[in-house]
Amino acid sequence: MAGLSLRCGDCGVQLRSVEEAQAHAEATSHTNFAESTEAVLNLVCADCGKPCRSQTEVDLHKKRTGHAEFTDKTMEAAKPIDLEAPPKPASEAMDVDASGSAEPQELVSPEVNKEMLGELESMGFSTARATRALHFSGNSTIEGAINWLSEHQEDPDIDEMPMVPANTVANKPSLTEEEKKIKAQELRDRARKKKEEEEKRMEREREKERIRIGKELLEAKKMEELNERKRIIELRRLEKEEEKRAREKIRQKLEEDKAERRRKLGLPAEAPAASKPSAPPPVEEKKSAFLPVRPATKAERMRDCLRNIKQQNKEEDAKVKRAFQTLLTYIGNVVKNPDEEKFRKIRLTNATFQERVGSLGGIEFLELCGFEKPEGEEILFLARDKVDKAVLNVAGAELNSAITNPFFGVL
């Protein structure tokens, strides 16, 4: 069977003709070729018609274009090898010098931009294809090389390394100093413009991010304020309920004490109907919709006194809290040691007392606890027989509430 291809014994590549073998030998310096009965692979893309001579080319074409269907036309394109190589044109094979003597001309691969060559190779193009594209597109830009590849991808020698005479490379005109300066300035201007555009884009992105964060912070602040208002309202509601329960307990206690005193005196129990006031006339009902005003209890008077102290010294929370703690200490000492006179006597001229309690209006609170100011003396004194632990305990409870409740005196 006649040979259908030539195989390079050095690298294993298959070639269709003697001309391809000669070009391969010039490009690689390989000289070991043998005739083969295996045809050169010819896989044609069903989408764009691009022929591929190896599975590697098929994989690269799939990666670049996404085309997946290929038709095997290997046997259709296969033909016997003609081992008689046609003579080369004189313009390619010989270099005639001025004296008329012909010499073989040395062929070398053209010089191309190494950076652009590396970029094309990173895109998946072979070295030979990338070099050919850069050489024939003027070795100017990546875009020009890619455009040239898209227009010449059907060329049969697309994957062969282009060869040019050595003297062409050697005699390639170089840029003058002025041209080099102009080229360098153009490159610098292009780089500066690109950097400015990138900085503008980043600034726009940062501004958008600042606006987004500002909106989020504003929403979070509004939500926090709303939650704080809800919490304050709930605390006020709970405080009112607690106060209502405390008043109800005091009322029940007073009723029980009243009933106990009547029992000890031998009086009959008070009839429920007798304690109720007679029904008011219908005309007056609208005017007296609320319960009759009753005298304030001592606990309420103490609470009002502490609230006045808090409200009159709004800007001095630390001093108010210290005054409440000092009053609580005075009351606690009397409850624990009622027989000790030193705990039941407070000198009004004492500088510490005046600074912590007297200057803030705490004397009125001590008087509600039972302390009295003897005529002609600068002291507050609580007589032993007037020590009422129940009253002092109520005072201690009110002071403790004023110290621990953050909304005391502001609601």
Q: What is the pLDDT of residues 229-264, one digit of tens each?
A: 998 999 899 989 989 999 999 999 998 888 888 888
216 in the same domain as 156: no
Domain end (from 247, 266, 285): 266
Q: Tell me what pLDDT residue 97 has.
A: 44
398 in the same domain as 324: yes
Q: Tell me what pLDDT residue 287 has.
A: 43
* 372 DSSP 8-state letter: B
318 in the same domain as 385: yes
Q: 333 falls in which pLDDT band (50, 70, 90)?
A: very high
Residue 286 lies in a domain: no
136 in the same domain as 57: no
What's the CATH code of the domain at 369? 1.20.58.2190
124 in the same domain as 64: no
Residue 363 lies in a domain: yes
Q: Tell me what pLDDT residue 212 has.
A: 93
Closest CA to 362 of 400, 329, 327, 394: 327
Q: Is 80 exceeded by the pLDDT of residue 157?
A: yes
353 in the same domain as 307: yes
Domain end (from 59, 77, 95): 77
Let me know if 268 is exposed, middle or buried by CB neighbors in 10 A (0-12, 13-18, 19+): exposed
255 in the same domain as 210: yes
Domain end (from 58, 77, 96): 77
Q: Write down the mean pLDDT value for the chain.
A: 80
In this predicted structure, which of 148-157, 207-216, 347-356 has the lowest mean pLDDT? 148-157
Q: Tell me what pLDDT residue 134 has.
A: 87
Q: What is the pLDDT of residues 184-200, one digit of tens each?
A: 788 888 888 989 999 99
Q: Which residue has the tokens 């274009």?
A: 65
197 in the same domain as 165: no
Residue 94 lies in a domain: no
389 in the same domain as 305: yes
Mean pLDDT of 6-21: 78
Residue 387 lies in a domain: yes
Question: What percent of the chain stands above pLDDT 90?
Answer: 16
Q: 90 falls in which pLDDT band (50, 70, 90)?
A: very low
What's the CATH code of the domain at 143? 1.10.8.10
0.75 surpassed by pTM: no
Q: What is the pLDDT of residues 130-140, one digit of tens each?
A: 898 888 887 77
User: Number of structural domains, the chain?
Assistant: 4
Please state, in angstroms and rounded to a whole number, the distance separating the CA atoms of residues 334 and 387.
8
Between the ranges 114-118, 169-173, 211-215, where is the mean pLDDT highest? 211-215
Q: Tell me what pLDDT residue 86 has.
A: 52
389 in the same domain as 321: yes
Residue 112 lies in a domain: yes
Residue 326 lies in a domain: yes
141-172 core/surface letters (b: 16 or more CB in 10 A; e: else): ebebbbebbeeebeeeebbbbbeeeeeeeeee
Residue 100 lies in a domain: no
Q: Tell me what pLDDT residue 174 has.
A: 56
Domain that holds residue 154: 106-170
Residue 82 lies in a domain: no
Please state, in angstroms and rounded to a whole number, the distance separating the CA atoms of residues 385 and 339.
10
Q: Is 70 exceeded by the pLDDT of residue 282?
A: no
